[in-house]
A = this chain, B = another copy of it.
Amino acid sequence: MQNRLSVEAYVEGVLSGNRMILSRAITLIESQLPSDKILSQQVLEQILPHAGYAMRIGITGVPGVGKSTFIESFGKQLTASGKKLAVLAIDPTSQRSKGSIMGDKTRMEELAHDPLAYIRPSPSGGSLGGVANKTRETMLLCEAAGFDVVFVETVGVGQSETLVKGMVDFFLLLMLAGAGDELQGIKKGIMEMADAVVITKADGENQTATQRAVAEYQNAFHLFPPAENSWFPQVKTCSALEKRGLSEIWEMISDYYSLVRSNGAYLQNRQRQNLEWMYSLIRYALEEQFYHHLEVKEKLPEIEANVQNEKWLPIRAATYLLDIFKH
């Protein structure tokens, strides 16, 4: 309870767009203290009617693809047109306590000094689901504080991009030209989640490889089944260095919003995301109770070994553990 404000002070501060109080509210949300959890939920309930109005854009790409440079250039272009931009992150490897608290800000120095931009590094520690939850709630706070666009960035190597996909309207996958080795880090299934692929570093000697990559990804998208929202995924190129391609990407995203807002898919997606968030919180709580049950925890390794080695049927193992849990 160190230096906590009242619920009203947080709410008023956030709604008036006070950066310092926004940051303190996010810190409150990220706290693991039980008293903070109650307080943060009260704050969230009150700002909720003012949240939901930003364009929520997920951005992913493996390390080396030029994600920070892209976000910086693209972000600067948005703020130059007067838009307020918040940049959040879900980084499962983030260990902010170990000194990298300023990591995201030094990566994007220009944006960090832009009065219309707000950068918040990934919450650290806890399970990936917990981290994602906090990023989701931070997004609501930023929306209530008046940000027009929220970027949620992640690295495309684990489960984090599925979580990001579940909280954004539009999902952008950054790729390098010359499909091959550099894709090794990207997780299977991620191509099919993308609403657009942007080939970065499309400059200098990369031009030919870039054109080939564009054609390849366009072909690949043609092989995928069409999305329910009627959006056909696009392939764009950009050079953050030469500041080319950024306007086209913004135009594409604007087209996307026009489409999904007019055909109802925007609202449907938001509603489905909210419901799925609730279901996943319930699933998470039920499984946590189960797997933290003392006797279940004690027996689990042995039972898992029996199942792995096909000594026990999974149904026998599940029944056995569920019986322990019940009594």
Contact = CB atoms under 8 A, between A and B. Distances in A.
Interface string A260-284: 0000000000110011011001110
Nearest to A156: B225
A281 B318 contact: yes
Given A41-B316, A45-B313, A315-B281, A223 B191 contact: yes
Contacts of A318: 278, 281-282, 285
Contact of A44 (B41, B278, B313): B313
A290 B186 CA distance: 36
A229 to B, nearest CB: 12
A137 B316 CA distance: 12
Chain A, interface residues (CB within 8 Å), range: 35 or more
A186 B225 contact: yes
Complex copy number for this chain: 2
Contacts of A217: 223
Contacts of A219: 216, 219-220
Contact of A275 (B187, B283, B307): B307
Contacts of A192: 188-189, 191-192
A216 B224 CA distance: 11
Contacts of A51: 310
Contacts of A314: 274-275, 277-278, 281
A274 B225 CA distance: 31
A185 interface: yes
A225 B309 CA distance: 30
A52 interface: yes
Residue among A186, A188, A223, A309 with the highest chain B CB neighbour number at 10 A: A223
